Amino acid sequence: MHKTHTTNTPSSLSSRRARTLAVVTAVGLLGGGALAQPAWAAVPEGPTEHTTLGLTGAQVMTHLAELAEISESYADEGYRTWNGPGYEASAAYVEQALEATGAFTVERQVFTVDDVIEGPVTVTVGGVALVGGHMINAEGTAEPLVGVPLAAPAEEEGGRLGCDPASFTDIPAGSVVVVQRGVCAFGDKVANATAVDAAAVLIANNAPGLVENGTVGDRNTSSAPAASLTPEDGAVLFDLIAAAQGAEQPAPTADVVIEKEFVAVPTFNVIAESIAGDPEDVVVIGAHLDGVDAGPGVNDNASGSAALLALADQVAAYEFPNDRKIRLAFWGAEEIGLLGSTHYVTDLAENDPAALERISAYLNYDMIGSDNYTVGVYDADQSTFEAPVTVPEGSIALEAIFTDFFDGVEQPWVDSEFSGRSDYQAFIEAGIPAGGLFSGADTVKTEEEAAIFGGTAGEPLDSNYHRPTDTLENVNRESVDAFAPAIGWAAHVLAWELVDAQPPVSPEPTDPAVPSPEPEPTGPGAEPTTEPVETMTPAPAAGAGRGDLATTGGSSVAPFALAAGVLLMGGVVVSALAASRHRRSRTGS
């Protein structure tokens, strides 16, 4: 399960991304190696070791409970779907929570989504109304078609398939053409009918019921309107058409209505940017805020959004301001095609490419509380899964931030395919290094994973995925506790530069004429009242190789402690990196 990582900074990265990842490589993985300093040591101007920012699962759950309640309250209106009131209410909570930190500026990035409003599809023949179904991206009727002749293409391969343009030769213009499903794409059938000026196309299914999720391809406003029919209704129409042709009678007629309206619907992302940090070097951390209309979407993905809110709280409370800008992105319309994150990257590429270049890394958190979870890390080095996408250089360094952290706290982890099937897709397509965490969706848990993480082998990692049962009660707290400190750690490694420990300041000498007080006994033969105090060193919790991550998150991570010589070596590396440029202002303009 565990791997040995070679972390490097490719020379082909931009200098800004290379510089950021060089710091990650050189010192980000040293962890908390500082020796305890006496009380009179000089106070450093920044952190001397990396930290989880104190981020815990309990803090994430506080925000998650609020988002869950909001989503549940809009059960009758699509929960937290991208264009519903539940999404608006959730975004308002996110904005309020971010503004309350005082450490972030918050804005909405509005964009439009091409949507479809669908009405009924009816086909009436001889006074009998048949029920039809919509085809994706097919046109609707601009007005009802009344008394329009029915026609069918000539037979090919034993059916009225409409795959060969020649089969439409004898069809009169203005007919409603009935074709059978099969052999060729729906779009080909519609295109062939459109070429003979068909008034509409009805596609009879070859399986029970109407065609589900059938698409005619990209929308073409010049295409004939199209809809689907059941096999039974299609057979009735084919028989009527054949009977009329055999008797050399006029074709039967139909009234057809396909109500459909294509609209552009506005929605938005919520973008928060830290007040502190170098505006020329930005770390973007994202999670999608929208959900599906089938359920509350508490794990998918209110859990990732809640983690970002808890992270914002800890960034604001931390004693040192971040050196790099931290941009938190709550994406909209992810569930219908990663639209919010895609718009964000595309908009920068088209209108402000310099701002896109200033993004040195992107981290994605999509589902961190699956009930049958694994601790999944995006497999940028492809040690387990061959990536179906191009992995930007620098992504391996981001993967190592997480895996080395988990190794340091004895938290088992597994690779999750670096597939681009979440909001990091647009970023990696733009060449931006990306990484992230994932507790699992509909993938089935293996026997090996069950032995490592517990849970049930042979069952989905999230049995509530896109279902009404994706509720707060079904979020796995152990999973959230495991992921939360890693999210804080990664943010600190990427957004804070370590500084050398300051040399100690000599304490004021004690007046030798004033003796130190001796402890006084309470009575004859009594022991002194001042007793020695035993100092305890925390040890990892027992059980399945996992530490007690619910309480992780102090100013250092104990398992990462190194010898003083190693820390000093890390300090030398940091100094060498910092010497190549002046230290940037710690607050943005």
Provide the sign of the torsion angle of the four alpha carbons 561, 566, 572, 576, taken in this order.
Answer: negative
DSSP annotation of 300 reads: I
CB atoms within 10 A of CB 139: 23
Query: Whose structure tokens read 């008797």?
Result: 247
Distance (Å, whole) CA 338 – CA 422: 7
Distance (Å, whole) CA 256 – CA 62: 54
**Annotated catalytic residue within 49, 334, 335, 449:** 334
Phi, psi of 62 (to 5 degrees): -60, -50
| DSSP-derived pairing of the beta strands 253-274 and 324-331 | antiparallel
Residue pair 250/244 in contact by the 8 Å Cβ criterion:
yes
The enclosing H or E element of 478 equals helix 477-495
**How many angstroms separate the Cα of 527 from the Cα of each of 495, 516, 517, 532, 535?**
53, 18, 16, 12, 21
Contact partners, residue 207, CB within 8 Å, separation at least 6: 181, 231
Query: Whose structure tokens read 């009998």?
Result: 128
Exposed / middle / buried, residue 8 (Cβ in 10 Å: 0-12, 13-18, 19+): middle
**How many angstroms separate the Cα of 424 from the Cα of each of 88, 92, 241, 418?**
23, 24, 53, 10
Catalytic annotation present for 334: yes
Distance (Å, whole) CA 375 – CA 412: 7
Buried b (16+ CB within 10 A) or exposed e, 523-543: eeeeeeeeeeeeeeeeeeeee
Q: In angstroms, how far is the first alpha carbon of the chain from the final one?
A: 45
For residue 74, which of 96, 98, 93 has the smallest C-alpha distance? Answer: 93
Distance (Å, whole) CA 285 – CA 305: 10
Query: Whose structure tokens read 């209108």?
Result: 351
DSSP annotation of 539 reads: -
Distance (Å, whole) CA 85 – CA 377: 33
**What region, left, alpha or beta, does residue 64 occupy, with left being phi > 0 and alpha being psi -120 to 50 degrees?**
alpha
Distance (Å, whole) CA 230 – CA 131: 8
Name the residues annotated as catalytic.
334
